[in-house]
């Protein structure tokens, strides 16, 4: 009989599950306010089945962790976490509320916000301040990253595990007389997919001009 995995092993397993659970987003919106919420996904039946299986495994691990904390991943909390997993990127609270209302028509804003508050306190999700959105933490709890790179166009988030870099940044910030308001550091940017989409749009726009000459 195999010994029960420890917290670190479960977090590592959850990390891998979360990464495989994130679908690849292929659509890009014109403005950051909408692109953080709406995007288009195309999945083959096989990949969709694998995504569903890994998502269920991640949710099961999240439920187990909550039980060990003496707390409960209630159906509403679980559904909000599931919606964030399915999104695969930073999602705004009102978008989550719209999705919840499709499932539970009577859902009110406080219902979603209370669920998000719980998920934040448990370390299951991050709040992305720069775009006022939420995304799943890939380390389950006690996040070891501390540096989040956020695409300001599509809302995708990459978590970096660079302890020395973070320590150096914090030291410089404190030397300047400041104290961080949160444990996370956000870096704004454009992901490779959005850069490629922008380059393609520029090329398409310039093509008629070049043809006219």
Q: Which residue has the tokens 């670190």?
A: 8
Q: Which residues contact 18 (CB under 8 A, 6 or more apart)?
A: 58, 85, 136, 137, 138, 140
Query: CA 94 to CA 128: how far, in whole Å?
Result: 14
Q: In angstroms, rounded to a whole number, what is the distance separating the alpha carbons of residues 128 and 91?
A: 9
**Does the annotation list 145 as a binding residue?**
yes
Q: Is 137 annotated as a binding residue?
A: no
Give me Rg for the CA atoms of the chain.
19
Q: Which residue has the tokens 């695409």?
A: 151
Element (H, E) at 186: strand 185-189
Binding residues for Fe cation: 145
Binding residues for Zn(2+): 151, 154, 191, 194
Binding residues: 145, 151, 154, 191, 194
């Amino acid at each position: 009989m195999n010994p029960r995995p420890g917290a670190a092993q479960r977090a590592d397993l959850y990390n891998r599950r979360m990464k495989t659970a994130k679908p690849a987003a292929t659509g890009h919106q014109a403005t950051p306010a909408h692109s953080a919420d709406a995007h288009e996904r195309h999945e083959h039946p096989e990949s969709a089945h694998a995504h569903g299986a890994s998502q269920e495994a991640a949710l099961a691990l999240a439920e187990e962790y909550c039980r060990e904390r003496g707390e409960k991943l209630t159906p509403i909390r679980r559904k909000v976490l599931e919606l964030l997993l399915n999104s695969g990127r930073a999602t705004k609270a009102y978008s989550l509320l719209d999705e919840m209302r499709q499932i539970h028509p009577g859902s009110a804003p406080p219902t979603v916000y209370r669920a998000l508050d719980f998920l934040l306190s448990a370390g299951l999700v991050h709040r992305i301040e720069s775009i006022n959105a939420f995304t799943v933490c890939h380390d389950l709890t006690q996040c070891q990253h501390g540096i989040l790179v956020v695409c300001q166009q599509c809302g995708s988030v990459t978590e970096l595990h660079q302890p020395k870099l973070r320590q150096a940044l914090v030291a410089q910030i404190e030397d300047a007389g400041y104290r961080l308001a949160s444990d996370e550091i956000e870096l704004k940017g454009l992901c490779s997919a959005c850069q490629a989409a922008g380059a393609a749009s520029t090329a398409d726009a310039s093509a008629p001009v070049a043809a006219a000459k």
